[in-house]
Amino acid sequence: MNPGDDQALTFGSAGSSPPPSPSTALLAALADLQPVRTRVPVVAALVLGMVLAAVPAGTILFAGARRDLVALPFWWVVATSLVWVAAIGFALVAATLPRAGHVLPDVTRARLTVTAVAIAPIVLGLFGTIDAPGHTIAVPATVMGFFGAWRGCIGAALLAGVPAAIVGALLLRNLFPIGAAWVGAAVGAAAGAVGGFALFLHCPLGGGLHAGLAHGGAVAVAALLGRLVLASPLRGPR
């Protein structure tokens, strides 16, 4: 090494200043650190699941079962109920539970689940509805009559799902830097599905169009509203 180089190194070392000391505020913040409780997704799923389960149970308890229920085929009632329960369960899992090894629910799974859960009840209602002649009430065969029945059932289903949507938003708030809209749609789909299931248990109006577009359509409407309304409270820091 040349003498000039040694002088340059000595000068650079002498000319450098030591790093500043931590501020009083930083030291106080470090001294006040507290352990953070780890989030448990299963707890969120259980809490939201209980709220969802309360809707159909409360419908039967306080509003009563549909007047034609005993006249409908038992196997069909059970099979249709299982489809509704599956729709609620899939939407609940997509909104709350992450895949193995992950921390947050998978946005891609939420998108695919919302799509399937929104379509399946509509198809089931349109092509799988059974009426009990003399017991099931026919929807008026006019545009205004059909629209009135549709509006009433859609409104009732959405209202029934509001508590679940609120609880879901509180449980999942500020968690998703990306994909919050689809998780919000999954919460909305779960809330809409539980409202649609409550309608299936209580509403005596028949016909595939009404069952598909009103009872089943409530899921699609609720998923859309969840995507629009719940994205903001679910969105976390980027």
pTM of the prediction?
0.82
Say if residues 209 and 146 touch (Cβ distance below 8 Å): yes
CA distance 183 to 13: 55
The phi, psi pair for 104, rounded to 5°, reads -115, 155
User: What pLDDT does 102 receive?
Assistant: 82
Query: Helices 180-202 & 74-96, crossing angle to 10 degrees?
Result: 160
User: What pLDDT does 78 receive?
Assistant: 97
CA distance 125 to 68: 16
User: What pLDDT does 2 receive?
Assistant: 53
Per DSSP, 68 falls in state T
User: What pLDDT does 101 receive?
Assistant: 77
Using alpha carbons only, give the angle 103, 106, 110 rounded to the nearest 5 degrees.
145
Q: Give 25: exposed, middle or buried? Use CB within 10 Å, 0-12, 13-18, 19+.
A: exposed
User: What pLDDT does 38 receive?
Assistant: 64
User: How far is C-alpha 39 from the chain's CA centre?
Assistant: 18
Q: State which residues of the chain have pLDDT below 50.
A: 1, 4, 7-13
Biggest distance spanned by C-alpha atoms of the chain: 110
User: What pLDDT does 11 receive?
Assistant: 43
Cβ-proximal residues to 68 (8 Å cutoff; 6+ apart), any chain: 131, 132, 135, 136, 137, 204, 206
